[in-house]
Amino acid sequence: MTEKLMTENSNCNNCNGHNDRNDYIETSTGKWEVVIGLEVHAQVISNSKLFSTAATEFGSSPNENVSFVDAALPGVLPVINSFCVDQAIKTGLGLNGHVNLVSRFDRKNYFYADLPQGYQISQYKYPIISGGYIDIEKDDGRIRRVNLERIHIEQDAGKSIHDQSPNKSFIDLNRSGIALMEIVTKPDMRSADETSVFLQKLRSILRYLGTCDGNMEEGSMRADVNVSIRRPGADYGTRAEVKNVNSFKFITAAINFEVERQISLLENGGVVDQETRLFDTSTGQTRVMRSKEDAQDYRYFPEPDLPPLVLSEERIETIRKTIPELPDAKTARLQHDFDLPHYDAALISADKETADFYERALNSKGTPTKDFAKMLANWMLGELFSCLNKSGKNISESNVSAENLAELINLIKTDVISGKIAKEVLELMWDSGKRASEIVEEKGLKQITSADEIEKVAKEVLTENESKVAEYKSGKDKLFGFFVGQSMKKMGGKANPQVLNEVLKKLLSET
């Protein structure tokens, strides 16, 4: 494949896409469009498993959390965990889906050593949630709606461990029977970047909802990535499915590899086979795992050990009331109520912990003003984030609490300290854990606002720099900054900048 470049086409007349503008990949043979659909497995936050009372705790010793049901001993029966069902309903509502009052469990039959039942209890024809969508924002501000096909609940399998012995495999059934939500999108994404933004937003919403912790390292969120390519306007191409990719980095790498592979296949007269592939993290490549199975290979049939799942309207409405304000709504509100720039509002809202921190700070000093809200956003996203980055901490581990950050902003706003001094104060707060006012008091950092006091110093500076004053008067305006700098230096940075400016202007026009 030759040179690749992303182009935009604002008048693509015949494509099955959902936006009038699409990103294409251009090669020597023309344009290609990438089509991506995801099946995201999200582990439900719940203390016990979907059909048993065993614990779900991550990091327990192998086979510690295994009930007879999870080990599929003969004669035991699954009992549905209604909390997990509530979590799925909440997720469906939070993702704008339709909750089906009747859904059903089916057996998906396949053999694997870590699946003792020989089948997975899942939902097939009648999932608990139908439809739904997430709107994602592209770098250039365009919105793409990624529609959801469905969300269904199913049990997870155990884990096979192949790397602990040269000639044995081990089975850990702790994960066996843990509730998963499988969130299936329509093939609505058009690039690796969009896919990554979609997943981040999905994860953010699930965390707001408290239905999945989205922790990809621990495997509580993983995705099967379906990739195909087509010429703009053509029907969908044949897809390859890359199984179980568990980090943003790998998902991007897997998509990019697949796109290159498929383009080169098609451009050289080959065809893409519908197959299931594995992403090899050490080579960054995907390779065939098996040819794609069809639904009939799984011999789906209704699960005879469980009745249909019937929900009442009241139950759904009760859950609807527990849905918190979600990222998009929060972004819009912060923009509307406080005139925050969209970028800042979206950045704050994208992560629940960040949003909580911001709002705690915002409301810690009574009813917040727009000014205060904006300054707080700047200080949090700028100075505080830089402290967090330097120390490798996330916001819930911040050395400076939300309340203390708010106090610092207040000291600036009420002219007790200047913004410049405040940066020093924040660093001292970070290192000592002390409150802003304590540090200002201890170190004598209060701003000097008395015009008399400032004038005394400014006069000194002008006297010491007579030649520069003369230059200034003959038109070298830039020197004003020099006088400000020198006076500030003499006052240890504590002069109120506005007062100092006024005083200097006055003195320079007098003499």
Q: Any idea what DSSP says for residue 176?
A: T
Cα–Cα distance, 486 to 265 (Å, whole number): 68
Cα–Cα distance, 264 to 49 (Å, whole number): 45
Which stretch in 34-42, 65-73, 168-176, 401-409 sits in contact with ligand ADP by CB under 6 A? Answer: 34-42
Instruction: Answer whether 245's CB lies under 8 Å from 11's CB.
Output: no
The answer to whether 97 contacts ligand ADP (rule: CB under 6 A) is no
Binding partner selected for residue 33 from Mg ion, ligand ADP, none, CB under the kind-specific 5 to 8 Å limit: none
Residue nearest to Mg ion (CB): 39
Name the minimum Å distance from CB 288 to ligand ADP.
16
CB 233: neighbour CB atoms within 10 A? 13
What length does the chain have?
Answer: 511
Q: Please give the C-alpha separations between residue 184 and each of 92, 104, 129, in angstroms, as whole numbers.
A: 12, 17, 10
Q: What residue has token string 């000291």?
A: 411
Residues 6+ apart with CB under 8 A from 1: 27, 260, 263, 264, 267
The answer to whether 354 contacts ligand ADP (rule: CB under 6 A) is no
The answer to whether 132 contacts ligand ADP (rule: CB under 6 A) is no
Select the residue interacting with ligand ADP from 17, 37, 177, 327 (CB under 6 A).
37
7 burial (CB, 10 Å; 0-12 / 13-18 / 19+) is: exposed
Binding partner selected for residue 185 from Mg ion, ligand ADP, none, CB under the kind-specific 5 to 8 Å limit: ligand ADP
Name the minimum Å distance from CB 56 to Mg ion.
24
Select the residue interacting with ligand ADP from 24, 25, 38, 175 (CB under 6 A).
38
Q: Please give the C-alpha separations between residue 78 and each of 1, 49, 68, 121, in angstroms, as whole numbers.
A: 52, 10, 10, 10
Name the minimum Å distance from CB 39 to ligand ADP.
5
Taking Cα atoms as reference points, which of 261, 308, 229 lies closest to residue 24?
A: 229
Nearer to ligand ADP, 22 or 418 (CB): 22
CA 467 to chain centre: 58
Binding partner selected for residue 137 from ligand ADP, Mg ion, none, CB under the kind-specific 5 to 8 Å limit: none
Binding partner selected for residue 239 from Mg ion, ligand ADP, none, CB under the kind-specific 5 to 8 Å limit: ligand ADP
Residue nearest to ligand ADP (CB): 37
Which stretch in 20-28, 36-44, 121-129, 349-357 sits in contact with ligand ADP by CB under 6 A? Answer: 36-44
Q: Site residues (CB under 5 A) for Mg ion?
A: 39
Longest CA span, the chain: 101
The answer to whether 440 contacts ligand ADP (rule: CB under 6 A) is no
* Interactions with ligand ADP, residue window 185-244 (CB under 6 A): 185-187, 226-228, 236-237, 239, 241
The answer to whether 127 contacts ligand ADP (rule: CB under 6 A) is no
Instruction: Answer whether 152's CB lies under 8 Å from 39's CB.
Output: no
Q: Which residues pair with 108 in a beta bridge?
A: 120
Name the minimum Å distance from CB 176 to ligand ADP.
21
Name the minimum Å distance from CB 10 to ligand ADP.
24
Helix axes 327-338, 192-209, angle to 10 degrees: 90
Run of H or E including 233:
none
Name the minimum Å distance from CB 106 to ligand ADP.
13
* Interactions with ligand ADP, residue window 237-276 (CB under 6 A): 237, 239, 241
Name the minimum Å distance from CB 135 to ligand ADP.
17
Select the residue interacting with ligand ADP from 184, 409, 416, 440 (CB under 6 A).
184
Q: Using CB under 6 A, list all residues that contact ligand ADP.
A: 35-39, 184-187, 226-228, 236-237, 239, 241
